[in-house]
Structure 1
């Protein structure tokens, strides 16, 4: 007859228990990120409402959008909502969504990895990526998300290139390349650490 493994909880020493419980100090940080995401949701809807109002000829909403996206109306005469402003606003909305996705990954993945299990196994709404999340996977996913956000910012800059100096365009491009190289380095390091040869040891 096979003996069942002992499922009793191991009693920790007071110091070890205190150190282990210190992980809950991160909880207010994740709650703060949830509030930050709520601010992003509010900002998203404000921008979307302004875009809809400007599409119906509201000049005040158009002025707000122009200031929001950094469109230089002095160099390019503005008579109404044009394609460039629409693209800049839509890219800004996409940027908000991508940052929100990044926040979700940090909040859910970080809490699951560093604080406590969420016990979402077999839950119909469990994110696919959460089933195999760990610190390494989280780093790679965060790096990929940051590259996506940087790409949106760079695209917005090039669409509205008249409002930026050549130096600003160059620096944004170099920063984006730096993000790419950093993400590649993280992915390569993670692959080396989890290569089959490494796992055999």
Structure 2
């Protein structure tokens, strides 16, 4: 018994399918304003960074060593946040909207640009969150008496949650890559 051949689709059905695919593919541009908004957020981070830097410079003589450490940690925190925003803007835009053509042959193009997939973006994101959380936790511990032991406990638990989430994401990515490698090996052995 022979299997029935599928009926060819009409020109109208093919045109409708094509129009739907063009609409869906074009919808990715709805993300572009979000990335432009992230640039505005980056400007806000830069303004806050320079406010903190001015405060540090203007009070460096009268500040205690602990205050100096806290000010520098605040600057590091903002710099890491700025790096995170740049990574999300570039990698997100290139992965989900369009390639950034003006950066293709730029001498100072970041080496990671164009090479970070969604999994890599997720790992950089969680790594930055863990680093920012660690800096915040360090700031908390330098300000003895500011938080109750219960507040310190929950802040530490929050940091450990971020840390364990990062380890969990890394483990899932490792398992996914291992499964793909095994599938490729199995496929090549079948051929």
Q: TM-score with structure 2 length normalisation?
A: 0.83
- Matched residue pairs, number? 168
**2:66 alignment counterpart:** 84
- Structure 2 distance, partners of 1:116, 1:199, is 29
**1:178 alignment counterpart:** 161
Of 115, 118, 122 in structure 2, the residue corresponding to residue 139 of structure 1 is 122
Q: Deviations over 1:43-91 (max 9, x none)?
A: 11111111111125xxxxxxxxxxxxxxxxxxxxxxx410111111110
- Structure 2 distance, partners of 1:198, 1:142, is 28
Post-superposition offset of 1:40: 0.7
**Cα pair 1:146 1:179 within 8 Å, conserved:** yes
**Cα pair 1:113 1:134 within 8 Å, conserved:** yes
Post-superposition offset of 1:97: 0.1
* 1:155/1:106 CA distance change after superposition, 3 Å: same
**Cα pair 2:45 2:82 within 8 Å, conserved:** yes
Q: Deviations over 1:174-193 (max 9, x none)?
A: 11111111011111111111
**1:26 alignment counterpart:** 31
Post-superposition offset of 1:122: 4.2
Most deviating of 190-199 and 158-167: 190-199
Structure ID, larger Rg: 2
Post-superposition offset of 1:131: 3.8
Q: Report the RMSD for the aligned CA atoms in angstroms.
A: 1.6
Runs of 5+ in structure 2 lacking a partner? 1-14
* 1:35/1:184 CA distance change after superposition, 3 Å: same
